[in-house]
Chain A
Amino acid sequence: MSNEILKKTKLAPQVYDFIIKNEEIAKRAKPGQFVVVRIREKGERIPLTIADTYENSFRMVVRAVGKTTYELCMMEEGQHLSDIAGPLGNPSEIDYFGDVMLIGGGVGIATLLPIAKELKRFNNRLHVILGGRNKDYVIMLEEFENLCDELIITTDDGSMGIKGVVTDGMDLVMKNTKINIAWAVGPTIMMKFCSIKAKELGIEKIWVSLNPIMIDGTGMCGACRVTVDGKMKFACVDGPEFDGEKVDWDELLKRLSQYRDEEEISFGKFKEQVGDLSWL
């Protein structure tokens, strides 16, 4: 369990693909599960999704958004992460459903990939919508092209695929195919609107993978609590996947902003030390 960075590849500006050596996680992880990572002794614990597994290693895709993720994205091959706990969370509930809609936004596309692969293994027909700010942020395109039965790309600026957002893609899919089950993974606000859209379109269930603030990731603190169907759930042990139509999205969005000031202080101090980061 060496947690060595075996390989690091840039996928998009501030988005990196890591292959991390860890035999135990490689052996046990199932689609939909995540790890909690602490990169160094004074570091915080952050949750990251397991994007794939290999013989002795696993894959995780990281977008640099604050101090810890920037620091992680600046780490090099051969370096080690202090701690990786996992796999954590419930695996995705995969079965044969027929036509399945999969929606990925930004770095959520990486989370979607193992779910898509597993669904394909169960012979589902995959209708995939991938969205990004612009063409640079639509990651893992080739990998999805090989899996999909239908692939729709949306970008905010129209630099690739349809100019628009992923919910526009959902409309398109539904024109030709009746969908009963969907997965949406991406920014919380995207998952919220996908869930609203799914309800409008009559999709019976839309799984979303929630990413609230976590500390231990094993159910002992309740930092990641969310309200689903009016009940308190801990995303780390009860999820991270829930029925999007039942999630209290506005509460989750508010809770995610809980440490915005502290995150800025921490990141500001880090930038003072390392200088310009626009190259990353």
Chain B
Amino acid sequence: MALKPPAKKVRMKEQEPQERIHNFFEVALGYSEREAMEEAKRCLQCVHHPCVSGCPVGIDIPGFIKKIKENRFYEAVKILKYYNNLPAVCGRVCPQETQCEAKCVVGKIPGSEPVAIGRLERFVADWEAVNVKDNQIELPENKNKKVAVIGSGPAGLTAAADLAKQGYVVDVFEALHKPGGVLVYGIPEFRLPKSIVDREIAYIKSLSVRILVNTPVGRAVTVEELLQNYDAIFIGVGAGTPKFMNIPGTNLNGVYSANEFLTRVNLMKAYLFPEFDTPIRKGKKVVVVGGGNVAMDAARSALRLGAQEVTVIYRRTEQEMPARKEEYFHAVEEGVHFRWLTQPIEYLGDEKGTLIGVRCITMELGEPDKTGRRKPIPIEDSDFVIEADTVVEAIGTDANRFLLNQFKGLSINKWGYIVADEQTGATTLKKVFAGGDIVTGAATVIEAMGAGKKAAYWIGKYLEGEFNPWK
């Protein structure tokens, strides 16, 4: 039996809360080489490595960590990139506490934290960016078959990269002017610097993947054309249509969907207005509705835009909140207020149509619902008003039906998402595969990547004639 490893993860340096709420720079600053090697020593190199089963793309975790421990960083890069096309992204935004790190044996020792797999992954990817120039990428023999990937978010990029690595010609169709999907418009700079997304996308392009921006499928190119011109199609368009609570006052000035608020901030860099042309309301009193990661991102962005008071209202309690613990703690450290068991029922405006307050109702928790969470029930006559000049609704998204309606023969479930085989990503329509949020509803970056990876494998099998569910 090896010596017991240190109980705690090597601490990662972060910007102090008081400093970071005034900027959009990354909060977590990453490990140094020495810190990474020290953390890597905490890994027990278990033979049965349960951590790997917790990773949706099945990274050889003990393998790359061993290389870090041995100061062979370049070899660690190679192992990581074999499995994961976006390691610098995943190391930063994956909820490791419910995935790889949740399975880590070191974390099972009483009083001990799991190995910081995410931080180590991030370290390796960032090390490569600084230290590896002109990485020679060996491309496989061109198989002369074409695959169209719709959407350049995590699912689409992963599928595209894996298909290119198999030797297929891949065209990615993106509606916006920048590829990356939620990585560029959704997740803020302070969690995921856009320069890192650009770097990882440059890597995917270096695999000969062609990305066509400004090309909304269904409008700029039709579904029939894609079906005609490509041997297979992967749909990875995400669940991009915002839901609204649709309570009175939803269309007052100052009420945003999280998608709009975050797109302005992240994609259009409205926080740098007027250097960048896109404006955003710099609210003094901001209310964010919801309890997921998107709500945390919106609340923390509002603080950085200069809000005096940001309040997250959530209809359940802290225990049921789906946001990552780390992001929740970051928000609390930064001074975001939380009001549990609270639901907005009306937005109040002035005569100019501008938001001035949110009427809320207090909830209590009833019996657990199908998801196992206790259902919130409104308490009668418990309403009160929170003063607010800005509201961001972060209550989830729906599927964008416009595109899906154009795929004749594609089965859609009752929530509007695509019906696709869980293992292979195959849809009901010949040669069409799908994965990511458009199949599962809003989930995580890594789950979308996992779906893209699986689909790429089965698309390859289909194109080789070894797999055909549509016979």
Describe B's contact surface by its main secondary structure: loop
Indicate whether A43 reaches chain B with its CB closer than 8 angstroms. Answer: yes
Asked if residues B175 and A216 are in contact (CB atoms below 8 Å), the reply is: yes
Asked if B257 is at the interface (CB within 8 A of a chain A CB), the reply is yes
Please give the distance in Å from A270's CB to the nearest CB on chain B.
9
A44 close to B268 (CB less than 8 A): yes
Interface size class of B (residues with CB under 8 A): 35 or more
Task: Kindly state the separation between the CA atoms of A64 and B276 in the bound complex, as whole angstroms.
Answer: 19
> Do residues A42 and B277 form an inter-chain contact, with CB atoms below 8 A?
yes
Q: Mark B220-251, 1 if CB is under 8 A from A, else 0.
A: 11000000000000000000111010100011
Instruction: For the complex, count residues of A whose C-beta is within 8 A of B.
Output: 43
Determine if B253 and A216 form an interchain contact, defined as CB atoms under 8 angstroms apart.
Answer: no
B residues 16-42 near A (Cβ < 8 Å) are none
Q: Does B96 contact A (CB under 8 A)?
A: no
- Complex CA distance for A221 and B274, rounded to whole angstroms: 22
- What does the 1/0 interface line of B265-287 toward A look like (CB < 8 Å)? 00011000111111111000000
B253 touches A219 (CB 8 A): no
Instruction: Given A215-B263, A251-B251, answer yes or no on A85-B274 (Cβ-Cβ < 8 Å).
Output: no
Which residues of chain A are near B241, meaning CB under 8 Å? 219-220
Tell me whether chain A's interface is mostly helix, strand or loop, or mixed. mixed
Bound CA–CA A227/B251 (angstroms): 8
In the complex, the answer to whether A215 meets B279 with C-beta atoms within 8 Å is no
Q: Which residues of chain A come closer than 8 Å to B353, judged between CB atoms?
A: 251, 254-255
B259 at the interface (CB under 8 A from A): yes
Contact string against B for A residues 199-235, beta-carbon threshold 8 Å, 1 for contact and 0 otherwise: 0000000000000000110111111011100001000
Contact residue among A38, A45, A88 (Cβ-Cβ distance under 8 Å from B219)? A88
A220 to B279 Cα, complex, angstroms:
18
Is B263 touching A220 in the complex (CB atoms < 8 A)?
yes
CA distance A68 to B268 in the complex (A): 14
> B177–A220 contact, CB under 8 A?
no
9 nearest A-B residue pairs (beta carbon) = A254-B353, A262-B279, A221-B260, A44-B277, A85-B214, A220-B240, A83-B177, A44-B278, A258-B253
Query: What residues of chain A have their CB less than 8 Å away from a CB belonging to chain B?
Result: 1, 24-25, 28, 33, 38, 42-45, 67-68, 82-88, 215-216, 218-223, 225-227, 232, 237, 251, 254-255, 257-259, 262-263, 265-266, 269
What would 25 A/B residue contacts be, using CB atoms closer than 8 Å? A42-B277, A44-B277, A44-B278, A83-B214, A84-B214, A85-B215, A85-B216, A85-B220, A87-B219, A88-B219, A216-B263, A219-B400, A219-B402, A220-B240, A220-B242, A220-B400, A222-B242, A222-B244, A222-B260, A254-B352, A254-B353, A255-B251, A255-B253, A262-B280, A266-B277
